Amino acid sequence: MDLQKLAKEMASCPCGREHKIGIDAVGCAPGLVSDAGSILSSLDFPRRVLLVADENTLSAARGVRESLTDAGFILTEKIYPDLRHADIERVNEIRGLCGDVWGVISVGTGSLNDICRYASALENKDFAIFATAPSMDGFASDTAPITEGGFKTSRVAKQPRILLADSNVLADAPAILKGAGFGDMMAKYIGLADWRVSALYSGEYYCERVAAVTRGAADACLRDAALVQKRSPEAAGRIFESLIMTGLAMGFTRNSRPASGAEHMFSHFWEMKKSLRGEQSDFHGRQVAVATVMCAKIYNELAGLPAVSFKKDVFDAAGVRAAYGEDLYADVLAMNEPDMITDALDTEAMGRGWAEVRRIIREEIPATDVLVNAMKTAGAPVGPSEIGVSDGEAELALRYSPYMRRRLTLLRLMPMMSGVK
């Protein structure tokens, strides 16, 4: 992946913002596992490192440990049996092992990377990732979702300085994880439509150059749908790079607009509901895949409406309270008080701008059947029952997940549309 070329393309952007890349190097190639040590060494990664993995990821990345010691790295190791949760206890465990090392290398994805990302930031250590599955787009992220006392919050963490993967290892990753990564990428189409609609109606900052990075990455994945489950190192490598691209795009805008829209809020809503019941959620990308299909269906139907008139937004307090329950209601209310994100919108201008919204949807979102078929081919789920979500909770997410944060999406505007249910 040519980061210098990308940096050049993003330099002096007409949007006026500086788009910085905080990562020094990304490497992905077949057989790279045996070169990991020499690559890190050539990039001056510190010699004394803490290697963090679990039994599964270490076995997937067989040879990485030897490659590091052969290149002269001195390893302290923390190998979990099977790490599924990024909680503050694990972060503290990693911090406790940071005393004698100058760098942290996380071998794996998801929670393993998150605990290392946060611990490295707190201990001010160099951080690198050796990815073992193309399962979500958080590799390049500088935040980490960490659970403390049962609540999951996003913490300011550290971007990896170096991101490595062996495309043979990625291609051999479990089918379920590859499908999840594909689902997380298809979500970008909804996210881009929501971002443009918000820019149109609320004047929110939007950058077409950044949007084009995400769009290009999502298109590349869509073209590869049939190869996702075929153990193709080339396709697995391209999906990994697409996931990183959208991570970099978030870095360019310093928010998640280029990578997530209404559909990601469904996934957070379902996760919260499940965690209140003490249940385990499905993988992030799989939940997002289902939400993406649900949103695409609605948005594509909206694009068929020749005209829509908007009325003033009224906060459905009773509905929100019932959907979130007493424990979470106060948090959600805080996002919508003392004013709602929709209060400043000009409803008449919105009606006049509807033709542009239709154009945005048509430009950004593939036809629903194209998306559904691509998800199925790539091994991603398309219906709530496949991820253990009831029809009732799917419907609740559709209506009430947009109230979880102050972010304008097309879905959030639906209660304002006259005659649209």
What residues make contact with Zn ion under the rule CB under 5 A? Answer: 13, 15, 184, 207, 209
Shortest Å, Cβ 225 to Zn ion: 18
Q: What is the smallest separation between the CB atom of 271 and Zn ion, expressed in angstroms?
A: 12
State the nearest-atom distance from the C-beta of 267 to Zn ion, in Å: 7
Instruction: Work out how close the CB of 181 gets to Zn ion at its nearest, in angstroms, rounded to a whole number.
Output: 9
| Residue of 46, 190, 189 whose CA lies nearest to 126 | 46
Comparing CB distances to Zn ion, the nearer of 89 and 208 is: 208
Nearest CB to Zn ion, comparing residues 184 and 224: 184
Query: What one-character DSSP code corresponds to residue 387?
Result: G
Interhelix angle 284-303/368-377, nearest 10 degrees: 160
When the beta carbons of 166 and 184 are compared against Zn ion, the nearer one is 184
**Strand intervals (E) in 23-133:** 25-29, 48-54, 74-80, 103-107, 126-131
Kindly state the smallest distance separating residue 173's Cβ from Zn ion, in Å. 17
Neighbours of 228 (CB within 10 A): 25
Instruction: For Zn ion, give the closer residue by CB, 184 or 364.
Output: 184
Nearer to Zn ion, 209 or 297 (CB): 209
Q: Give 120 or 287: the residue with its C-beta nearer to Zn ion.
A: 287
DSSP letter, residue 106: E
Report which of 3, 1, 63, 2 is spatially closest to residue 35, judged by C-alpha positions.
63
Q: Could you tell me the maximum CA-CA distance found in the chain, to the nearest angstrom?
A: 68
What's the CA gap between 94 and 92, in Å, rounded?
Answer: 5
Tokens encoding 193: 């439509």
Compute the least distance from the CB of residue 197 to Zn ion, in Å: 19
Nearer to Zn ion, 13 or 25 (CB): 13
Task: Choose among 238, 132, 139, 130: nearest CA to 182.
Answer: 238
- Our separate counts of H helices and E strands in the chain read 19, 8
Shortest spacing between CB 420 and Zn ion, in angstroms: 27
Q: Which is nearer to Zn ion, 204 or 313 (CB)?
A: 204
| Bridge partners, 151 (sequence order) | 148
Angle at 186 between CA 235 and CA 29, to 5 degrees: 25
Q: Are 23 and 117 in contact (CB under 8 A)?
A: no
Of the candidates 406, 180, 197, the one whose C-alpha atom is nearest the C-alpha of residue 291 is: 180
Q: How far is the CB of 396 from Zn ion (least distance, A)?
A: 20
